[in-house]
Structure 1
């Protein structure tokens, strides 16, 4: 019996023709060869945390949730080889038990490592890259069932395309990541004036391993978060952190969000109340435990990467536009920083970036607000996060990525029949607009 599926936010609902859950790479190879005979379309699903229809299909949907675990850790080279279906949460726990940590993580760990890499998931830290940038090699099974290994030295073009591919090249089965010996972080949260944050932005970015902030619309208040390595012992009174994250940031905020949904005109007041409730607290603990924050209040999200030095004028325009249009928004604007990289479809390609995310509570209209914010991001050279909502199509995106055509050529070579494409991918990749000759991988 066919089973309808939904993503985390409820923005995407679909019913696949069938769902396959291979447990080994050999099963994936056989599955692809068998479905090729019948010219079956294929999409991949991770944990469903993308806000866009990346995985939507009425054909075969492949889940890698049974392809789990850490295969090996090379202590000398500080490299971990992991199976592609492993969640960030399970890998964090396995690393913790083995005495290792991710270089960096975002604040949600429900994603599979394959999904996180394929969409460019990131944390914050101007000298730290996204999860895709932490990859040093990977294994990919192509549409015809061929297994390819790639790194910077082996199949280099494929490596640069596959580190962020939207699941359009093949199926990731194995990933090798840089890791660090287990380390502790000291986390400080505090409210600060928006003007102070913008005036000290360079110092905050440069002087802290991780810095991020949340600006509350209709206020001049920011929640600033600083995380730095420490040799101090983990905090003993964990209940304070749990209370802040579960009760204040989720329970109370959910009640306020429901009020805003029922009475949208309350949104500015709810935002101001939330800003007044920003907690002042600090905590020390293992890196993987402090990167993550529970996200129990559901929402829709759009996120763009802009040049890091463009953040002050972008925020000023966002503030003026929100107040001018009186958008019913109470969710804070999230701001994180990512080091520039050389990955072809990375939003941080060749530029240190500020990632600016806007949210709307689930059940509240978001289109007008997101559209207005998107226009600001685009004026400053913004590139959308691939797992978040945006309105761009292939022709728009091609102008923003210098290696766009290179990616399409590799994609065409590996999947000339478009078996890994769904209607959404065809639209954002411009696949039906332009055909490219197949190259020879380096």
Structure 2
């Protein structure tokens, strides 16, 4: 087993870094169990790193980090029952490629596919489409290495009382080493990207959400033009994606990087560049397998907050967002991404018990983001917003009790599975453990 010492670890966005004592790279479940048992003996804490695409300090640690990159790959595909079993470190794009060879795919994915399966599940990663929940809803079974070093299978029929807590757990209940996911026969989708006027979006928003299998839209600050993207099942034959990927790489990455650098150096150009970007959105149509279309490459680095609000609040929320940016004259040029997700019953899922709209706000790396994010977060709070666990936010532990009705039950299970806080760091203690203490004090 590979072990590294004295290495500084940074997340993708460089919003934080860690100087862990050790980073372990186990290649088997038995090795993961052995590391956990050793950590318990030595009094060390453990956090698990995936692709590093969380913006928050979820995996920050001066003790031990575990990477599951060497514990990856597909163990088996059950075509008859429509499931695939993969190891926790498997990247989502690997799952897509391997399933695609067999004519299958996951039913939905986010717009980034470099995350590990375990990391995507743990943080509630999602795509878009009101027929579909977040990626955690695709899980039928998982295997968790607990703080005792034991491997615990969890499903609706095995240790079922843990199931809805483990599906979004922030890595605080144990280490997810293997997962069984629901899969479908890979459909051919027609992907369409187009530009419409904002009043037309307002008028047709409900219809667009309800009549498209996958639908999302992008608001451009200071512009009345909106980009809408849809994906629906098609009878067309798959086409080469080479030109499509080239355009995405050229326009949405390299050219946008240059425009972003101009905004960083000359912030007063943000309004002009945002409007210019909105006008550059042309109509694109391509037919391909679903797993090939969900994600796009991300080279331009940014800061991000993302909130999940009840779907019925989406229209008034985006109206208020547009007005706030205009009035406050925020220097921002990144479009605002809006996606829809089905309600679920996962305890710490932002979509728990409500059909949801996710609204994501970005700021280019190196540009001041505090005032913009603060104002956007205030709007999200007004509409009962729950923060995405992997994105930046300023919600405190007391807020979380109001937002997550099952948080007390989750913490009870957390204490049961990890009574000595082996899988916690300072950030999570402040966010979760102290929430329990504060809540109890207030009740008393």
- Under TM normalisation by the shorter chain, which class is it? over 0.9
1:244 Cα shift? 2.3
Q: 2:384 aligns with which of 367, 381, 386?
A: 381
1:435 Cα shift? 9.2
Aligned residue in 1 for 2:214: 210
Q: 1:7 aligns with which of 5, 11, 24?
A: 11
Q: 2:143 aligns with which of 139, 162, 169?
A: 139
Q: What does residue range 119-138 of structure 1 map to in structure 2 within 5 Å? A: 119-138=123-142
If the length of structure 2 is used for normalisation, what is the TM-score?
0.96
CA distance in 2, matches of 1:227, 1:257: 28
1:239 Cα shift? 4.4
1:344 Cα shift? 0.0
CA distance in 1, matches of 2:128, 2:19: 35
- The answer (yes or no) to whether the contact 1:105–1:122 under 8 Å persists in 2 is yes
SS of match in other structure, 2:135: coil
Aligned residue in 2 for 1:329: 332
CA distance in 2, matches of 1:423, 1:196: 47
CA distance in 1, matches of 2:136, 2:303: 23
Q: What does residue range 85-100 of structure 1 map to in structure 2 within 5 Å? A: 85-100=89-104
| Matched pairs, number | 436
- The answer (yes or no) to whether the contact 2:401–2:435 under 8 Å persists in 1 is no
SS of match in other structure, 1:195: helix
Cα-to-partner distance string for 1:207-241 (whole Å, 9 max, x where unaligned)? 110000000000111100010011210124x4441
SS of match in other structure, 1:235: coil
CA distance in 1, matches of 2:132, 2:386: 18
Q: 2:281 aligns with which of 275, 278, 296?
A: 278
Of residues 332-341 and 30-39 in structure 1, the stretch that sits farther from structure 2 once superposed is 30-39
User: Aligned pair in 2 of structure 1 residues 46, 239: CA closer, same or farther (>3 Å)?
Assistant: closer
1:303 Cα shift? 0.2
Of residues 293-302 and 192-201 in structure 1, the stretch that sits farther from structure 2 once superposed is 192-201
Cα-to-partner distance string for 1:330-377 (whole Å, 9 max, x where unaligned)? 000000000000000000000010000000001111111111100100
CA distance in 2, matches of 1:6, 1:31: 22
| Unaligned ranges ≥5, structure 1 | 438-442
Q: 2:412 aligns with which of 409, 424, 429?
A: 409
Q: 2:371 aligns with which of 361, 368, 372?
A: 368
CA distance in 2, matches of 1:372, 1:359: 13
CA distance in 1, matches of 2:63, 2:169: 20
CA distance in 1, matches of 2:41, 2:298: 42
Aligned residue in 1 for 2:177: 173
User: Aligned pair in 2 of structure 1 residues 321, 430: CA closer, same or farther (>3 Å)?
Assistant: farther
| Unaligned ranges ≥5, structure 2 | none
- The answer (yes or no) to whether the contact 1:408–1:436 under 8 Å persists in 2 is no
Runs of 4+ in 1 over 4 A off after TM superposition: none
Q: 2:426 aligns with which of 405, 423, 427?
A: 423
Q: Please say if 1:315 is aligned against 2:318.
A: yes
SS of match in other structure, 1:73: strand
1:416 Cα shift? 0.8
